[in-house]
Amino acid sequence: MDDLKKTPLFQTHLDLGGKMVDFGGWALPVQYSSIIEEHKAVRERCGLFDVSHMGELDVRGKDAFAYLQKLCTNDLTTMTPGRCRYSMLCNERGGVVDDVLVYKHNDEHYLVVVNAGNADKDYAWFKEHLFGDVRLENQSPQWAQLALQGPLFMQVLEAAGFEGEIPAKNYTFTPSMKVAGIECLVSRTGYTGEDGVELYCAAADAPALHKALMAAGTPLGMLPCALGARDSLRFEASMPLYGHEMTDEITPMETNIGFAVKMQKEDFIGKAALEAPAKRRRIGLKLVDRGIVREHYDVYCNGKLVGFTTSGVPVPTLEGSHAMALVDVACAEAQDFEIEVRGKKLKAIQVPLPFYKRA
Amino acid sequence: MIPNDRKYTNNDEWLLEENGQIKIGITDYAQHELGDIVFVDLPGIGDSFNAGDDFAVVESVKAAAEIYTQVTGKVVAVNEALNDQPDLLNQDAFNNYLAIFEGTIDGEVMDADAYAAKIAK
């Protein structure tokens, strides 16, 4: 663990009995109790995640809006202060550099939250494309981030106590409020498919905030949840994960997240490349034969190799083994497929995405 | 507690000789390392193996682990309960075998004390 990066909650993870792993250079737990129990806790009650490894880039200046409009595929024009917007950053080929959440403080001040594994790459990309009156600051080391997700999240917050308004609408945020007496930025966002919030606080405050939320949530059946459950939850909700459903070789259209790409925008990096029709599409598959499908297995249709699985996680709350796959657009409407699992071709059928949607 | 009545392998399997047959399973340490076990792929009855061959697969949420036999022989029974309840291996690894072999232990095995020392490292 010595040469790995540590979040401010490293000791908390050890104290909670977290099974620590190397997650892209970060020392983080893959589970505390059981991935399945943690997954179920989020779906049925509540879960608390350390996501402090995410990166935070602060963008300020008179040209902040124009600058972000150039880098982001989504249109930030209609954002009012206190809104968050999901977007991709594309390269000139239309491939994805990262998927990000843009938080708007005001017309001249934004916070961009990026994937942990891409933080350095994204910061370099942002610097490379800097123009005009824009000041960029990599604030990642200053921020800790917790995710509180599940149907009981408001009850947990009420038990912990807060001053200010918990954002009421999805994809909005309160820039400054107190939760358990601790100064936080709170957004109504998440990566589990359940309702909930993400709380950003000063790194030094993270252990106290985590402890307060644990004290408030444990009597309600909340569990601390780790990377394994984070992956199984987002997979069940069919949310794309960078490095799997999106890479610098896969376009957002292929990933089927065109809602975050606004082609009517005058210009953004990658727009020209995205004019061409998509050659592949992300679909959902479910095994008919017995087995477990995971990522990077070959997918066949009518005997022909047509693509590969991008993610496959056995989720016991989903009956059967599911996978997301990227396949040739020609067979994107097909019903019957085969997936090669450890040398054997297993029968699978296409199923609609998302696999799970909360009621 | 590592049961004394059986032998162990470097890959965290146990071998228990009973009535001229050899039961093979995974240890409690193995199930703990794997995490929630969600699927077990058992061999067919009558399948033959050489010591050192993989004969089954145990899959957890995060990983698939090949299970090896140190018996040269054939499978005479499998633990069918694991098909519907793979988590039995998490609940009680030492009392849920994967398969029963008839043959000879030709491969590398160690006793309980040696195994306890190995996993203590």
What's the CATH code of the domain at B69? 2.40.50.100
Please judge whether A232 and B57 are an interchain contact, meaning their C-beta atoms are less than 8 angstroms apart: no
Nearest residue of chain A to residue B90 (CA atoms): A34
Interface test with A, best of B31, B32, B61, B83 (most A CBs within 10 A): B61
The answer to whether residue B121 is domain-embedded is no
Nearest residue of chain A to residue B34 (CA atoms): A34
The answer to whether residue B111 is domain-embedded is no
pLDDT value for B14? 98
Chain A residues 101-120 with a CB less than 8 Å from chain B: none
The answer to whether residue B113 is domain-embedded is no
What is the extent of the structural domain holding B69?
Answer: 7-105
Contacts of B43 in chain A (CB under 8 A): none
Please judge whether A314 and B35 are an interchain contact, meaning their C-beta atoms are less than 8 angstroms apart: no
Q: Does B66 touch chain A (CB under 8 A)?
A: no
SS3 call for B102: strand
The answer to whether residue B2 is domain-embedded is no
Q: Considering its fold, how many domains does chain B have in total? A: 1
* Residue A340 near residue A306, CB atoms below 8 Å: no
Q: 3-state SS of B53-100?
A: CEEEEEEECCCEEEEECCEEEEEEEECCHHHHCCCHHHHCHHHCCCEE
Contacts of B41 in chain A (CB under 8 A): 291
Query: Which residue ranges does chain A devote to CATH 3.30.1360.120?
Result: 5-51+141-236
* Residue B7 near residue B110, CB atoms below 8 Å: yes
Nearest residue of chain A to residue B63 (CA atoms): A294
Query: Which residue ranges does chain A devote to CATH 2.40.30.110?
Result: 279-351
Looking only at the bridges linking them, the beta strands covering A26-31 and A5-6 are: parallel
Instruction: Give the residue among B90, B86, B2, B100 at the shortest CA–CA distance from B41.
Output: B86
Q: A-B interface: how many C-beta pairs under 8 angstroms?
A: 34
State the nearest Cα–Cα gap between A353 and chain B, in angstroms.
Answer: 21
CA distance B17 to B1: 19
For residue B106, how many C-alpha atoms fall within 13 Å in the half-sphere facing its CB? 15
Q: ipTM, 2 decimals? A: 0.90
The answer to whether residue B96 is domain-embedded is yes
- Say which residues have a Cβ less than 8 Å from residue B92's Cβ, sequence separation at least 6: none
State the nearest Cα–Cα gap between B90 and chain A, in angstroms.
Answer: 11
Interface test with B, best of A19, A23, A35 (most B CBs within 10 A): A35
CA distance B98 to A163: 56
The answer to whether residue B61 is domain-embedded is yes
CA distance A278 to A258: 11
Cα angle for residues A159, A198, A164 (degrees, 5° grid): 55
Span A211-237, pLDDT tens digits: 999 999 999 999 999 999 999 999 999
pLDDT value for A359? 82
Q: Does A232 touch chain B (CB under 8 A)?
A: yes
Interface test with A, best of B36, B41, B55 (most A CBs within 10 A): B36
The answer to whether residue B76 is domain-embedded is yes
Query: From edge to edge, which strands make up the β-sheet containing B21-26?
Result: B7-8, B13-18, B21-26, B99-105, B71-78, B48-49
pLDDT value for B1? 81
Span B51-99, pLDDT tens digits: 999 999 999 999 999 999 999 999 999 999 999 999 999 999 999 999 9
SS3 call for B29: helix
**What's phi and psi for A47, nearest 5 deg?**
-135, 150
pLDDT value for A317? 85
Element (H, E) at B6: none
Share of chain A above pLDDT 70, in %: 100
Q: Report residue A79 as tokens.
A: 């954002």
State the nearest Cα–Cα gap between B7 and chain A, in angstroms.
Answer: 28
Chain A residues 279-298 with a CB less than 8 Å from chain B: 291-292, 294
Please judge whether B35 and A291 are an interchain contact, meaning their C-beta atoms are less than 8 angstroms apart: no
CA distance B92 to A246: 40
pLDDT value for B84? 94
A279-351 placed in CATH 2.70.70.10: no
Contacts of A35 in chain B (CB under 8 A): 35-36, 61-62
Superfamily of domain A5-51+141-236: Probable tRNA modification gtpase trme; domain 1 (3.30.1360.120)
SS3 call for B105: strand
Nearest residue of chain A to residue B60 (CA atoms): A314
CA distance A221 to A147: 16
Contacts of A321 in chain B (CB under 8 A): 39
Q: Does B62 touch chain A (CB under 8 A)?
A: yes
pLDDT value for A2? 77
The answer to whether residue B33 is domain-embedded is yes
Under-50 pLDDT residues of chain A: none
pLDDT value for A220? 98
